[in-house]
Structure 1
Amino acid sequence: MKNRITEMLGVKYPIVQAPMGWIARSPLASAVSNAGGMGIIETSSGELDNIHAEIRKMHELTDKPFGVNIAQAFVRDPDIVSFVVDQGVKFVTTSAGDPNKYCGQLKAAGLTVFHVVPSLHAALRAVEAGVDGLVVEGGEGGGFKNPREVASMVLLPLVASKVGVPIIAAGGITCGRTMAAAFALGAEGVQMGTRMVSSAESPVHHNWKDAIVAAKETDTVFLNRFGPGPALRALRTEKTSAYEREGGDNIMGEFKNALDLYFGGDMEGSIALSGQVAGRIEAVRPVAEIIAETIAEFEETIAAMSNRYAPIGA
């Protein structure tokens, strides 16, 4: 497959792994890159010494391209741009902040920069800042969100109709059919988060993976719409159901115990971020199988639709 995304990123397939804190590290990211996609290393955990070690491992585990994310709201190092540039990567996504903050420095250093956006206003602002492309994130996706979420079915074609840069679609992507739908709406690549959290190479505890596999399409909650801090979408648990009903003064404080959930398996210890697409994930699968089957189904889907509808009006 060749399009602007594969050419810009130097990858075989336009499939990007989401930059989830503590999760998007070398075991998962290298598996994605080795399978032909774009593995991403996170910085949102703030553990830059560990992240430096993870990037060093990436160079040992893969000879394929990989990138780094700068989640601006969660990174406190004033030299984060220098840190990323020094790692030798060529692709970076920026998120959770002003696209003007780092775009110029990153591009001056020769990196390709995509900014994550949840709205048309944010997309236009990022393009004006000079980004090379956008990750357009629908509200059905997991993780930290715009409190005024917009579904991908609305957001993707809206943004695509107003910008000329390439778009990576995020939110609701888990298979070849959803990838084909994203392309029909104007994307040239897709990003997978929840699907990758549940993969065999994901470092999270099997309790979290099992919860994703067991989840129904209605088993996520949208929290913190009125703050303080960002809104977020997560799996439904006793803790998150209580927050959904009653709200809370500081939901973000729950993440002080994140590692108890992420790697200890205590599903009530913190908040398990997840998208609605958890309701479509039926098994824990290796990354290579996920990506290969996604591409095969994508090709089958667009071919079948072409054959089915091309004669109309002929």
Structure 2
Amino acid sequence: MINNRITAMLGVQYPIVQAPMGWIARAQLASAVSNAGGLGIIETSSGQLDEVRGEIKKMRELTDKPFGVNIAQAFVRDPDIVSFVVDQGVKFVTTSAGDPNKYCSALKEAGLTVFHVVPSLAAALKAIEAGVDGLVVEGGEGGGFKNSRDVATMVLLPLVCSKVKVPVIAAGGMVDGRTMAAAFALGAEGIQMGTRMVSAAESPVHQNWKDAILGAKETDTVFLNRFGPGPALRALRTEKTTVMEKDPPEGGAMGEFRNALALYFGGDMEASIALSGQVAGRIDAVRPVAEIIAETVAEFHETCADLGARYGKA
């Protein structure tokens, strides 16, 4: 057990959260994370709320541990998304990709704990003003949708932590116990894993995507859509995304997601965009979630103890 504000607020054993990836962050993966002592998150960014409702029902069949739901505001199609989330009976929600003022008050009035995902200090301070309970501070090296003016975790995380008093979960580059220890040294009290969980044994994505992560170098991601239209994003380097990096499609990268399921579950790596963080360069095996979390926690404690022994004052 790691005792801090994050584990107390979320009711979990370890302050390790799984990123809310569209179509991927569903019961199969999220329940494995919760059962291993972390916090599984169910996505809504796919927009398939009927399916999401079913996934939440499955979660309750697969785990009796806490889990949360994400509201990715830029992709919300249901004006009653707050009622939808509240009706699912969850106690924790992350909001992202939008104004924290939009849903924070209504969610908190319903008794939920709310964390907002932020890519900059200005966004963090805006979320604090909105009344959030905590922050997910996401560095630009992480996969998925990004601020076009990306800032690395090593810069962003200590900056935000020096200016806010709420608990912080670090995202972007988080993959093992050493990165977790580094995040805690910079002020975080929890970490969020995305790419590591995409490549996990319980991840529902096609093996071709997992193999692409295992084969990737640390330089094998591209930053797309920096100048719009639409959100910027970080993805694995493929033939398609290499072309898009220099010659963005008319209308931006978002149109490529109309074929997302052919990549995600059909294995055609050129059909769409495989979102991924730079940390793909550090992942060399598909591992069960329970092993990933257990080894992360063990290495975290070992790293902290080793640093204390080597550099602590006598």
Letter in 2 for 1:167: V
CA deviation string 1:53-76 (max 9, x = no partner):
000000000000000000000011
Distance between the aligned counterparts of 2:76 and 2:35, measured in 1? 28
- Alignment partners' CA distance in 2, 1:130 and 1:244: 37
Task: Give deviations 1:31-72, integer Å, cap 9, x for gaps.
Answer: 000000000000000000000000000000000000000000
Q: Of the candidates 258, 265, 268, which is equivalent to residue 266 of structure 1? A: 268
Matched residues in 1 for 2:115 and 2:67: separation? 14
Q: Any residues of structure 2 matched to 1:178-189 within 5 Å, and which?
A: 178-189=179-190
**Match for residue 71 of structure 1?**
72
Deviation sequence 1:97-134 (CA, Å, 0-9, x none) = 00000000000000000000000000000000000000
Match of 1:227 in 2: 228
Q: TM-score, normalised by structure 2?
A: 0.99
Deviation at 1:251, TM superposition (A): 1.1
Match of 2:124 in 1: 123
Matched residue, 1:286: 288
Percent of paired sites with the same residue: 82
Following superposition, the deviation at residue 292 of structure 1 comes to 0.1
Secondary structure at 1:78 match in 2: coil
* Residues 126-275 of structure 1 aligned to structure 2 (within 5 Å): 126-249=127-250, 250-275=252-277
Find the counterpart in structure 2 of residue 101 from structure 1: 102
CA apart distance, 1:248: 2.5
C-alpha displacement of 1:246: 1.5
**Deviations for 1:236-294, whole angstroms, at most 9, x for unmatched residues?**
00000001121222210000000000000000000000000000001000000000000
Q: Which whole-Å CA distance do the structure 1 matches of 2:117 and 2:249 have between them?
A: 27
C-alpha distance in 1 between matches for 2:71 and 2:207: 27
Aligned counterparts of 2:191 and 2:174: Cα–Cα separation in 1: 7
Q: Provide TM-score, normalisation by structure 1.
A: 0.99
| 2:290 partner SS | helix
Superposed CA RMSD? 0.5
Aligned partners of 1:224 and 1:248 also within 8 Å: no
Supply the distance in 2 between the matched residues of 1:180 and 1:199 (Cα, whole angstroms): 21
Which residue is 2:27 aligned to?
A: 26
Rounded to whole Å, the distance in 1 between the matches of 2:61 and 2:258 is 31
What is the rounded CA distance, in whole Å, between the counterparts of 1:201 and 1:4 in structure 2? 28
- Provide structure 1 residue ranges, at least 5 long, that are not aligned to the other structure: none
What number of residue pairs does the alignment pair up?
A: 312
Cα separation, 1, equivalents of 2:216 and 2:121: 31
The answer for unaligned runs of 5 or more in structure 2 is none
Range 56-65 or range 238-247, more displaced:
238-247
CA contact (8 A) 1:116 1:135 kept: yes
Q: Counterpart amino acid of 2:128?
A: V
